[in-house]
Amino acid sequence: MPPLISALRPYRRLFSLPGTRAFTTGNLLARLPIGMFSVSAVVMIAGSRGSYALAGAVTATGLAATALAGPWIARLVDRHGQARIAVPATLVSVLGSLALLLCVRYDTPDWTLFAAYALTATTPNIGGLSRARWAHLLGDDPGALHTANSFEQAADELCFMLGPVLASFLTGTFFPEAGTLAGAVLLLAGMLLFTAQRATEPPVKAARSSRTPLRSPGIPPLLACFVATGAVFGSMEVGTIAYADAHGHRAAAGAVLALQAAGSCTAGLVFGARRPAGVRLEHCLAAMAALMTLPWAVAGAAGPLPVLAGALLVAGMATAPTMVTAMTLVQRRTPADRLNEGMSLMVTGLLTGIACGSATGGWAAEHLSPAGALGVPAAAAALALLIQTSSTRIGRLGRIACTDS
């Protein structure tokens, strides 16, 4: 059998299940705008108000609001079901995007931009909703669930790679508000299609766990690990842009970052198809910590941008396996009736880490050098590895102590 067909066989099995193709189509349509909204808002606001500082502050406010609202929305989903909560939450988010568009169009006071964009924080975590469906369908088949989680991570990378490109094309080709408008339409259409597939929707558990996911064994260190991993992503983006700008190629920074996402997407699909035995989160984090030193080394040697792009492509290959393995642990350790909430907490941790990483990377680029800024992702990856290995060692010692007593 040709290697490509053999590699695709696990994915063909996934999508042979009734309803999976339909909800995945809706999932991808609704997920693509997640990579569009920030770029669209920055271009739209900066072009209208002439201030990148204002545009950045508005998008940062939306990010903070999302981190706060995400777990609350997910808790409601676990309690009342995906369709009953995700559709009205999406409608509020779409209204927020349209309100932002109108505020920019009609030159309303700056505070209205913050208020409108904050409403988009009600966007449901579509990746978490989709992973919950796979967990419901494949809970008794760990191998197939691994493949599904790998596909979802690859979809994340693909949408974050294509979203900014599509947003830039729409805002540059048509009118500044085109990216925001198209993102709102795609989000609503995708969510309606996704939630219409009721046969694959996880049932609401009658008996609810009184224990929050944060109190589940192993979840707090995983959350800390997600924060550190988010710092890798945030600092890598800022450091790459700063390095490209310093070499007179700022316009190419987006394409260079897209290569990192492409490396992660490819590695995620391969990781899902091969299902390597015995791979633990520590192994993936160690690989990420090692590979993140490559861009730093290239920048330290003042290498040209194409060489940095190649280093980012290779470094990105550790991202998806790390996220897939970590999300699988979240699914195992979170109470079944609070799965959406548990995954949303991890996304909140990731967003917090991205914000911290962006701030740290920006400080390093300004006060040290662009090459120094690319050392921040390597340090953040090493911190994530330290957190996980320390947690594993403490857990092992605790089990030994319990056995001895």
Q: What is the CATH number of the domain that holds 147?
A: 1.20.1250
Query: Is the pLDDT at 3 greater than 60, yes or no?
Result: no
Q: Looking at the domain assignment, is residue 54 inside a domain?
A: yes
Q: Are residues 309 and 352 in the same domain?
A: yes
Residues 164 and 269 occupy one common structural domain: no
Give 212-226 pLDDT, tens digit per residue: 777 777 788 888 998
Phi-psi region of 304 (alpha: psi -120 to 50; beta: other; left: phi over 0): beta
Do 318 and 223 share a structural domain?
A: yes
| pLDDT band for position 161 (cuts 50, 70, 90) | confident
Same domain, 402 and 296: yes
Residue reference for tokens 């699988």: 328
Phi and psi at residue 341, in whole multiples of 5°? -65, -45
How much is the pLDDT for 108?
A: 94
pLDDT at 151 over 80: yes
- Same domain, yes or no: 239 and 105: no
The model's pLDDT over 80-91, given as tens digits with 9 standing for 90+, comes to 899 999 999 999
For residue range 24-71, list pLDDT tens digits in order: 999 999 999 887 887 788 778 888 888 877 887 888 788 788 888 888
pLDDT in tens, 229-265: 988 988 888 788 788 878 877 667 777 877 888 888 8
- Would you say residue 61 lies in a domain? yes
CA dist., res. 360 & res. 234, Å (int): 9
Rounded to 10 deg, the angle between the 20-31 and 178-195 helix axes is 160
Q: DSSP assignment of 78-142, as one string?
A: HHH-HHHHHHHHHHHHHHHHHHHHHHHHTT--HHHHHHHHHHGGG---HHHHHHHHHHHHHTT-H
Domain boundary among 201, 221, 246: 201
- Give the pLDDT band (50/70/90) at residue 22: very high
Asked, for residue 208, whether it belongs to a domain, the answer is no
The answer to whether 343 touches 74, Cβ cutoff 8 Å, is yes
Residue 47 lies in a domain: yes
273 within some domain: yes
Among 161-170, 307-316, 380-389, the least confident range: 161-170
Q: Would you say 296 and 375 are in contact if contact means Cβ atoms under 8 Å apart?
A: yes
Confidence of residue 4 (pLDDT cuts 50, 70, 90): very low
Per-residue pLDDT at 294: 92
Mean pLDDT over all residues of the chain? 84
The share of the chain scoring above pLDDT 90, in percent, equals 28
pLDDT at position 395 is 62
- pLDDT tens, 288-315? 999 999 999 988 888 888 898 899 999 9
Whole-angstrom Cα distance, residue 405 to residue 400? Answer: 9
Same domain, 192 and 122: yes
Of the candidates 77, 70, 91, the one whose C-alpha atom is nearest the C-alpha of residue 188 is: 91
Which two tokens mark 60?
């940062």
Q: Does position 136 have pLDDT exceeding 80, yes or no?
A: yes
264 and 192 in a single domain? The answer is: no
Q: Are residues 320 and 346 in the same domain?
A: yes
Q: What is the pLDDT of residue 5?
A: 54
Residue 310 and residue 17: Cα distance in Å, rounded?
38
Q: Is the pLDDT of residue 400 over 80?
A: no
CATH of the domain at 383: 1.20.1250.20
Could you tell me how many helices (H) and strands (E) the chain has, helices first?
Answer: 18, 0
| Confidence band of 379 (pLDDT split at 50, 70, 90) | very high
Rounded CA-CA distance 124/280 in Å is 29
Among candidate residues 168, 201, 234, the one where a domain is terminated: 201
Together in a domain, 187 and 231: no
pLDDT value at residue 225 = 92
The C-alpha angle with vertex 191 and arms to 75 and 71, in degrees rounded to 5, equals: 20
Q: Which residue has the higher pLDDT, 196 or 40?
A: 196
User: Is 231 part of any domain?
Assistant: yes
Domain span holding position 310? 213-405
Q: What are phi and psi of 92, to 5 degrees?
A: -65, -45
Give dist(CA 70, CA 201) in Å, integer: 19
The structural domain count of the chain equals 2
Do residues 376 and 273 both lie within one domain? yes
Q: 140-149, 173-182, 191-200: which has the minimum mean pLDDT?
A: 140-149
Query: 3-14 and 253-274 helices cross at what angle (nearest 10)?
Result: 80
Q: Which of 170, 201, 232 is the last residue of a domain?
A: 201
Residue 207 included in any domain: no
94 pLDDT tier (thresholds 50, 70, 90): very high
Residue 289: the pLDDT is 93
Residue 69 contacts residue 90 (beta carbons within 8 Å) = no
For residues 73 and 122, the answer to whether their CB atoms sit within 8 Å is yes
Tell me the one-letter amino acid at 298. Answer: V
188, 190, 192, 195: CA torsion to nearest 10 = -130
Considering the domain architecture, whether residues 158 and 225 belong to the same structural domain is answered as no
Residue 79 is assigned to a structural domain of this protein: yes
Q: Are residues 281 and 159 in the same domain?
A: no
